[in-house]
Structure 1
Amino acid sequence: MKTHLHDSAARLTAPQWAALYGTRHADRGHGYALFREHMEPGAPVLVAAEDDAGRCAALHGALTTAGSGLFSHPWKLLTSEQLLRPEEPGADRARADRERLLTAVTGTAAQPDAAALTTALGEAVVFRSFDSTEAGLREGLTTEARHAALRALLAAAQDAVRDGLAGAVCLPFVRRDDLPLRTGLAELGFRQAALTAVSDFDLTGVSSYEEFLASLPSRRRRMYRKEGQAVADSPLTLGTWSLTGHVKSVAALEARNIAKHGGQPDPVALVAARSAMAELIGDRVRVPVVLRADEADEPAACGIHLTDDDSYCILMYGADETVPAGGPVYAHLTFYEPLRHAADHGLSRVRLGFEAFDAKLRRGASLSPRETWLWLPDAARLDTLHQVMQLLGTRTEAHFARLTGQPA
């Protein structure tokens, strides 16, 4: 088994990529991988494995930088107040324990934040997609060949770190049912804990939105209908756009949404991001919009979603200052309109991404934990970081139990 370290998913053609990742899921497609490279501030990384028949496996990700988002940066995950679950009992003690452990890792008395961990450990190479971390594997590999290919990928990533590519390897969103990947990670000394989760709606066997509504408990069904009627009774017009042809309007709304929340938007960067998305992913991007009656080309709110033959992924929601936060427009664009489209088109799942669990679970979504697996060459520091991961993981599991009403 040979391995190769590449600097972009573009090193493979779209057919070569499809041979490893398939064509069923848009968020595992070649175009989406290239779009992630456009959005991540760090350099892309592709590790590929090759057997006698050619390319057989790959892992795709990026190096972290100070500008990497929370869910793309392990040091931000480990130091985040959000993932400490401060609403759960014992938060002050847990915060102090985490600070003590992280201070031991950084070796300084300074506040052990993500920047301090980066100074002590270096940046990380992070392998992830939209809401999971999965390897691409050529169809038809035997169990033994799959195991060998996964080990080769992971060992190559470790060797790249030893050679100075980064300070750590992180696979932040491994599915608990991905036993082959989890087995390879454990065998090579990676450490894990469940730090977050994703939410989704399972529409298997549902043939229409009305059939889906009929399956809901009566109280939840009334909420769906009430919020849906509130949008229908408003002076707003509902519609659906493709992103191509509406890049500037969508980017302008994103800018207004950022400004509404106190940020400083970069209009040029927003147009570039949406242009890249339209070019790389094309008609798999779907944009449900809410328009004011007198402004047919300037949405008051919209979602940016990804759809394929199997599932529907909620990537973003944004609204300008005229739309109340958390109101029926948000619910319509984030839940009801996607559920209607998915159910009426035979899709099996609506995937809602990470966190913000209350609104999702209140409307009947299911919660699925994701495991973060981490490795760095310094065994002592890895042991200490694993204690931090376990501390946060225990609090996260308690948080999930409270949200879902299950015993901790």
Structure 2
Amino acid sequence: MPSLPRMTAALTLNTHPHIAAIPAETWDALGDGNPFTTHRFLHALEVSGSVGRGTGWQPLHLTIEREGRIVGAAPLYAKSHSQGEYIFDHAWAQAYLRAGGHYYPKLQCAVPFTPASGTRLLSPDPDIRRSLLAGMTQLAERGGASGVHVTFCTEDEADLGADAGFLPRVTQQFHWFNRGYASYDEFLAQLSSRKRKALRKERQRAQDFGGTIRHLRGDDLRPEHWDAFWRFYQDTGGRKWGTPYLTREFFDCVQQTMRDDVLLVLAERDGRPIAGALNFIGPDALYGRYWGCVEDHAFLHFELCYHQAIDHAIAHGLARVEAGAQGEHKLARGYLPAPIHSLHWVRDEGFLRALADYLDREREAMGDEIEALTDWGPFRKQG
């Protein structure tokens, strides 16, 4: 798909098949520090072959220029499938096909393989963000894509997109929220007695696996740690998706350019890594991303992925832990349901109307579910 012509007398919208064509300092200056929308993360996906030719994720990043200066940007991909998105639209694709249309290609404004919310329309100017959305729809119309999907965006972006004619969608994840806790025990004190005892017992059993747990960041990370984690990732990815999304080279890129942005929680026994959880660190949140193991031990998954993440967030004053997609088992461990926002637009007006009706009903049901799950959570009821 070619670059779009001048949008107005003042603004020019361009597309870029490689993020390397956009200066890193320019891209990052438009963002909010979220690790997943940094130039270095998106570049790592591309140079490692995790996205690009043959993956179904073809980069088509947008920039808006004013007088030769980039004033807005968005991570954008042409998609030939719906894998690796975590805001599920497989049923929409099937319905579109039954109606005689072609759902693919579609345009996806997102971070590949990353169910973590953050800014998608990179500009402090609301008018520029609206122009980015308008540019995406123009690109879909001219390039033959069925529509545009902006996933894991912020609530403000969802409101702005709804005003611009996109359909807002609300799903949910489970997040842990730091209420100024000084310690894990202080957090536990907010839970019901039964839940508090259960989690203490769970952590003790997990930590009795016969080894040690280490937190690795920055220069403490070595190639052998990534070799071990690659084995873990392959095991988990093979069981969940058939083929892991990320290549081995991606983790080498992370070591080179993002080792200060990650926390690897590693379980070792007899001097050998047996399990690990990889987290990315944002300005105010810890993002749990990948887990895997080569030995099974009771509750070790929960310890490395959820409890150790809470420990780190408390120790470093982070506001929350986002533990990834799905998993109501997180509720019992102090993670509460949180709304997740996305925006959707399709070119076919009839399908768009049907989708609007579906999403209206889904949002109402999701609101009821979030309220019920929150009430069902492990925290002590306030009198």
Calculate the TM-score normalised by the size of structure 2: 0.81
Tell whether 2:147 aligns with 1:172. no
Letter in 1 for 2:27: W
Partner of 1:231: 206
Q: Residue 338 of structure 2 contacts residue 370 of structure 2 at CA under 8 Å; is this kept in 1?
A: no
RMSD between superposed Cα atoms in Å: 2.9
Matches of 1:78 and 1:399 in 2, distance apart? 22
| Contact 1:127–1:133 (Cα < 8 Å) also in 2 | no
**Are residues 1:361 and 2:331 paired?**
yes
CA distance in 2, matches of 1:264, 1:147: 41
Aligned partner letter, 1:62: Y
1:352 aligns with 2:323: yes
Encode CA deviations 1:61-104: one digit per residue, 9 max, x unaligned: 322223732526x532647xxxxxxxxxxxxxxxxxxx8xx26x
Which residue number in structure 1 is paired with residue 13 of structure 2?
A: 3
Distance 1:276 1:9, change over 3 A: same
Tell me the equivalent position of 1:39.
50
Find the counterpart in structure 2 of residue 123 from structure 1: 105
Q: Which has the higher helix share?
A: 1
The answer to whether 1:163 aligns with 2:172 is: no
For the residue of structure 2 that corresponds to 1:71, the secondary structure is coil
- Counterpart Cα distance in 1 of 2:145 and 2:256: 31
Q: Flag the 1:389–1:353 CA change in 2: closer, same or farther, 3 A.
A: same
For the Cα contact (< 8 Å) 1:255–1:270, is it kept in 2? no
Aligned partners of 1:53 and 1:224: how far apart in 2? 56
Q: Which of these residues, 321, 330, 339, is aligned with residue 301 of structure 2? A: 330
Q: Secondary structure at the match of 1:120?
A: coil
State the AA in 1 paired with 2:299. P
Give the corresponding residue for 1:48: 63
Where in structure 1 are there 5+ consecutive unaligned residues? 80-98, 109-118
Partner secondary structure for residue 353 of structure 1:
coil
Moved more, 328-337 or 341-350: 341-350
SS at match of 2:347: coil
Identity %: 21
Superposition map of 1:124-163 within 5 A: 124-129=106-111, 130=114, 131-132=116-117, 134-138=119-123, 146-163=125-142
- State whether residues 82 and 90 of structure 2, in contact with CA within 8 Å, keep that contact through their aligned partners in structure 1: no
Q: Say whether residues 1:220 and 2:235 are aligned partners.
A: no
Structure 1 residue matching 2:180: 3-state secondary structure: coil
Q: 8 Å contact 1:212–1:343 — kept in the other structure? A: no
Find the aligned partners of 2:222 and 2:78 in 1 and give their Cα distance: 30
How far is 1:137 from its partner?
A: 4.1
Aligned counterpart, 1:318: 292
Distance 1:44 1:286 in 2: 27
Q: Which one of 205, 212, 216 corresponds to residue 241 of structure 1?
A: 216
Deviations 1:128-186 (A, max 9, x none): 23422523545xx5xxxx2210111111111111111622100122333x1xx334422
Q: Out of 20, 24, 28, which is 1:18 matched to?
A: 28
- Tell me how far apart the structure 2 counterparts of residues 10 and 52 of structure 1 sit (CA, whole Å): 21
Counterpart in the other structure of 2:379: none
Q: Is the 8 A contact 2:19 2:39 kept in 1?
A: yes
Number of the residue aligned with 2:352:
382
Q: Is the 8 A contact 1:26 1:284 kept in 2?
A: yes
Deviation at 1:192, TM superposition (A): 2.3
Residues 198 and 175 of structure 1, relative CA distance in 2, 3 Å threshold: farther
Measured after TM superposition, the shift of residue 309 of structure 1 is 4.2
Give the conservation status (yes or no) of the 8 Å contact 2:262–2:278.
Answer: yes
> Letter of the aligned partner of 1:128 in structure 2?
A
Pick the aligned partner of 2:86 from 62, 71, 79.
71
Tell me the residue number matched to 1:271. Answer: 248
CA distance in 1, matches of 2:172, 2:252: 30
Match of 1:206 in 2: 181
Once residues 266 and 374 of structure 1 are traced to their aligned partners in structure 2, the CA distance between those partners, rounded to angstroms, is 27
Instruction: Summarize the Cα distance change of 1:31–1:303 in structure 2 as closer, same or farther, 3 Å threshold.
Output: same
**Partner residue of 2:234 out of 255, 262, 270:** 255
Provide closer, same or farther for how the CA distance between residues 395 and 56 of structure 1 changes in structure 2, counting only shifts above 3 A. same
Which residue in the other structure is 1:82 paired with? none
For structure 2, list consecutive stretches of 5 or more residues without a partner in the other structure: 1-10, 377-383
Q: In the superposition, relative to structure 1, how do residues 336 and 12 fare at CA in structure 2: closer, same or farther (>3 Å)?
A: same
Is the CA contact (8 Å cut-off) linking 1:21 and 1:29 kept in structure 2? yes
Number of equivalent positions = 353
Residue 185 of structure 1 corresponds to: 161
